[in-house]
Structure 1
């Protein structure tokens, strides 16, 4: 299992559009992807509902976890995406 903590920088947090972008990016990897924030249970990073359930606001620390053949690449790319403002991705 590869994991990395990242702080959400988007001023609106991870709302519907950034969640969609994240899920689409996660779907490109074979690895199983999970996200967690504070007391929220681990959610499937390839599920739009799961990602939105995190309710990750600006400044929240989110743990990105991946397990599988391309887990390292997945964690690096998805952590980078969460740390971005998403403006150029939407």
Structure 2
């Protein structure tokens, strides 16, 4: 299983557009992908409601994980989205 701890750089946190881009990217992967706040239970990263329900804010660290072929590349892409102050096109 591949795991990354990432600090959210978007000033709105993992909400609205950043959450939608995150979920869209995760949903393109054939494997299960989860996301969790520190000390919290992991949720399905392909579910917009689950991701929004995390209430992950700017500066907080989250853990994303995936298992299977292409997991590292997927986590690279998700980490890039979260580590960017504002997603492209925002």
TM normalised by structure 2 equals 0.90
Segments of 5+ residues of structure 2 without an aligned counterpart are none
Name the count of aligned residue pairs: 90
Segments of 5+ residues of structure 1 without an aligned counterpart are none
- 2:23 corresponds to 1:26: no
Mark the CA change 1:86 to 1:31 in structure 2 (over 3 Å): closer, same or farther: farther
Mark the CA change 1:87 to 1:32 in structure 2 (over 3 Å): closer, same or farther: same
In structure 2, what is the equivalent of residue 74 of structure 1?
74
- After superposition, the CA RMSD in angstroms is 1.3
Question: Cα deviations across residues 14-43 of structure 1 (Å, max 9, x unaligned)?
Answer: 112211111111111112110010232101
Task: Give structure 1 regions of 4+ aligned residues with deviation exceeding 4 angstroms.
Answer: none
Task: Identify, as 1 or 2, the structure richer in strand.
Answer: 1
